[in-house]
Amino acid sequence: MQAQASLASGLALHQRGQLNEARACYLQVLELQPRHFDALHLLGVVAAQTKNFAQALELFDQATGINASHAFAFNNRGNVLRDLRQPERAIASYDKAIALKADYAEAHNSRGSALMDLAKTQDALQSYDKAIALKGDYAEAHTNRGNALLALTLHQAAIASHDRAIALKPDYAEAHNNRGAALAALQQFSTAINSYDQAIAYRASYAQAYYNRANALVELKELETALESYDKAIALNPAHAEAHNNRGNALRGMERLEVALASYDQAIAFKADFADAHNNRGNALSDLRQFRAALESYNQAIALKADHAEAYNNRGSAFRDLQQPQAAIDSYDQAITLQPDYAKAHLNRSLCLLQMGDFEHGWEEYEWRWEDEALQKSVRQFTQPLWLGAEPLHGKTILLHAEQGFGDTLQFCRYARLVSDLGARVLLEVQAPLAGLLAELDGVAQVLKCGEPLPAFDCHCPLLSLPFAFKIRLDKLPAGASYLAPLPDKVAQWAARLGEKSTPRVGLVWSGSATHKNDRNRSVRLSEWLRFLPEGLQYVSLQKETRAEDKETLALNPHIVRLDEEITDFSDTAALCEMMDVVVSVDTSVAHLACAMGKSTWIALPLNPDWRWLLERSDSHWYPCAKLYRQEAAGDWDGVFRRIGTDLGALAAPFSPPLSAKP
């Protein structure tokens, strides 16, 4: 009677959540009756609830050893085995519970979750269906079923299961969160956020919902708001390694690189074997031009996960940034071996081969660019076939179309003549700002602006696939110093605008498009360059887009002619280039324009330049009129500007001291 009274007291305390007090009562029972099944079983439940899973398993084993016909004890034992990450043993325990109680819906549901742990999704779905068949209003089984359907990429069915769970239990936070995950998989991120918000409304401390919400906001490019959600998730669960990692990704997207690095370090501190965090840490270090440190992080990611194709790919890019192209190729090859259809690794490999001058293999590999997510928006869908050099073109009409930046179009439009020489009628579709300038390009029958209705044609080819089609090699680039010419009326217009020339004219371009993926490495501030420009020359800004900080510098330096508000398209820029004695530019479209016109063009390049400028050369096979000024260390523009300034000084007559830099 005393044991029974202690058990009853313990159970009452247990139901009120007073676990320590309940535990004391159960221990009193065991002092009186060491083989008391209920006391052992309930003591195991307390141990599980306080996350002492090893002790809970020991207690459940003792209890089921005394009473092997108690289905609930075997179910609870299975739950503890899942917590101990022993799903196979958990399933065996659930099977025992079901054998004892065939209509045990909870055991079928738990069995499904253990099968999900083993990635046996189809089997798990059958267990969830069985649980629901036994208990139709079982909300947890419905949402678990939705998770299994999501894993099987049956997104709409998954949403329907979560909706059923919510209909049964409107305040079921997990179901709202899981519904959001299914919507996010369908890329319905705004609607997913609404579901996450519902989950948080029902459970304000739901760290995972905040984390998922942040991930959806990242997809919507709402990085600041995403950061707030990651911070909330971390405040609720400081050890949430994935939240720290993804917070780092958001910060990196905002170019807050040092803070991003700290987030990756936090992720690794909580989860030392977190390969993705090591990989992402390497990316932030690469952005900071700390390439050797980045290599260490990529190597650590690979050591933790030998099949981490992305880390091999990123390591290849770090080797390339360190001017170790063969090591880069080897790393890209390893990424491709692991994942043969890894488009980004193929594309990076192609760029490395081209940079090394291996055009024979580089052009072929470059065709992988169409599979890369970053270039998907450039893919054109035509019913007419793609021409890559195999089929005869005589008597056919072919559409050549621009695909990437202005500079790419200006560089590769030269091949229109070769296509025309094959007997084809050539249509050339280009970006609108280039259409006027290219209207008279040799070999082109008609120039079209992107977006205009297209006339009939028989086949098509992107401009940057033409070198592959013609099997262009480094020693077989088209001869000739120029293939573009300015429009005479534009030249006359700008000659009147600039007036008579009294000193040599220098056209300046210091930045390209701010949205270019490599802008931080190729563009500079005018103020950084100004102090290296000698007097005795007339400087003309050829910038069409001028950033706010550069506008301020120009306002304080009126001796630099500013024309950005008067330039309408590339026909204006070409006419201005024509009136320059030299064009000095970073690697952007104006450099290609001036070179295509045969103008003396000096190009400032980062340590790891775009593939087309090759390596360790001061000249260009593409453009005989170009002179290349390369960084000698990553980020070191001063050395480049100093050498350009010295060479500009030779043009000035008489030579004067450098200008004083003004902010």
- How much is the pTM? 0.87
Same domain? For 20 and 44 the reply is yes
Contacts of 116 (CB under 8 A, 6+ apart): 124, 144, 147, 148, 151
pLDDT at site 654: 53
The structure tokens listed for 424 are 């084809």
Which uninterrupted H or E stretch holds 627? Answer: strand 626-630
Verify cis geometry, omega within 30 degrees of 0, for the bond prior to 624: no
| pLDDT higher than 80, residue 5 | yes
Which uninterrupted H or E stretch holds 124? Answer: helix 121-134
Beta strands 505-509 and 538-541 are parallel
| pLDDT higher than 80, residue 375 | no
Same domain? For 220 and 254 the reply is yes
Residue 460 lies in a domain: yes
Same domain? For 451 and 581 the reply is no
Same domain? For 469 and 387 the reply is yes
19-69 per-position pLDDT tens digit: 999 999 999 999 999 999 999 999 999 999 999 999 999 999 999 999 999
| pLDDT higher than 80, residue 591 | yes
417-466 per-position pLDDT tens digit: 999 999 999 999 999 999 999 999 999 999 999 999 999 999 999 999 99
Q: For residues 175 and 630, give the distance between their C-alpha atoms in angstroms, rounded to a whole number.
A: 57
Per DSSP, the three-state class of 509 is: strand
Helices 105-117 and 71-83, packing angle to 10 deg: 20
Residue 285 lies in a domain: no
505-557 per-position pLDDT tens digit: 999 999 988 777 777 888 999 999 999 999 999 999 999 999 999 999 999 99
Beta strands 505-509 and 425-430 are unpaired
Same domain? For 357 and 389 the reply is no
Q: What is the DSSP string of 429-463?
A: EE-HHHHHHHTT-TT-SEEEETTSPP---SEEEEG
| pLDDT higher than 60, residue 663 | no
| Long-range contact pairs involving 294-300 (C-beta distance under 8 Å, separation at least 24) | 294/318, 295/319, 295/322
* Amino acid making up residue 136: G
Q: What is the DSSP letter of 51?
A: T
pLDDT at site 380: 87
Residue 195 lies in a domain: no
Residue 334's closest CA among 303, 318, 310?
A: 310
pLDDT at site 220: 97
401-411 per-position pLDDT tens digit: 999 899 999 99
77-97 per-position pLDDT tens digit: 999 999 999 999 999 999 999
230-258 per-position pLDDT tens digit: 999 999 999 999 999 999 999 999 999 99
pLDDT at site 491: 96
Same domain? For 2 and 61 the reply is yes
| pLDDT higher than 50, residue 662 | no
Same domain? For 495 and 588 the reply is yes
Same domain? For 438 and 496 the reply is no
- Final residue before a domain boundary, out of 24, 51, 67: 67
CATH of the domain at 22: 1.25.40.10
The structure tokens listed for 275 are 């390969």
pLDDT at site 478: 62
132-191 per-position pLDDT tens digit: 999 999 999 999 999 999 999 999 999 999 999 999 999 999 999 999 999 999 999 999
Residue 292 lies in a domain: no
Q: For residues 600 and 591, give the distance between their C-alpha atoms in angstroms, rounded to a whole number.
A: 10
Total domains, the chain: 5
Same domain? For 373 and 396 the reply is no
pLDDT at site 150: 97
pLDDT at site 521: 84
- C-beta separation of 145 from 115 below 8 A: no
Q: Name the average pLDDT for the chain.
A: 94
Residue 642 lies in a domain: yes
Same domain? For 426 and 538 the reply is no
| pLDDT higher than 70, residue 17 | yes
Residue 198's closest CA among 181, 185, 186?
A: 181
- Final residue before a domain boundary, out of 337, 355, 377: 377
Rg from Cα positions in the chain = 34
Residue 336 lies in a domain: yes
Residue 140 lies in a domain: no
How many residues make up the chain in this entry? 663
The structure tokens listed for 554 are 């120009």
CATH of the domain at 524: 3.40.50.2000
Q: What percent of the chain has pLDDT over 70?
A: 98
Same domain? For 547 and 644 the reply is yes
- Final residue before a domain boundary, out of 32, 47, 67: 67
- The domain in which residue 215 lies consists of 205-266
pLDDT at site 653: 58
pLDDT band at 480 (very low <50, low <70, confident <90, very high): low
Same domain? For 394 and 344 the reply is no
| pLDDT higher than 80, residue 374 | no
CA atoms within 13 A of residue 145's CA, in its CB half-sphere: 27
Residue 353 lies in a domain: yes
